[in-house]
Amino acid sequence: QSALTQPPSASGSPGQSVTISCTGTSSDVGFYDYVSWYQQHPGKAPKLMIYEVTRRPSGVPDRFSGSKSGNTASLTVSGLQAEDEANYYCSSYAGNNNLLFGGGTKLTVL
Residue 31 makes contact with other proteins by CB under 8 A: no
Q: Is 64 in the site for other proteins (CB under 8 A)?
A: no
Stretch that binds other proteins, among 17-25, 46-54, 74-82 (CB under 8 A): 46-54
- Tell me how far apart the alpha carbons of residues 6 and 74 are, in angstroms, rounded to a whole number: 10
Phi/psi for 19 (5° steps) reads -120, 130
**What is the rounded (10 degree) CA torsion for 98, 53, 5, 94?**
20
Q: Which is nearer to other proteins, 59 or 110 (CB)?
A: 59
> Which residue, 51 or 64, has its beta carbon nearer to other proteins?
51
Number of residues that bind other proteins (CB under 8 A): 27
Q: In whole angstroms, how far apart are CA 109 and each of 2, 9, 11, 41, 53?
A: 29, 11, 6, 13, 24
Q: For binding to other proteins (CB under 8 A), which residues are involved?
A: 3, 32, 34, 36, 38, 40, 44-48, 50-52, 57, 89, 91-93, 97-104
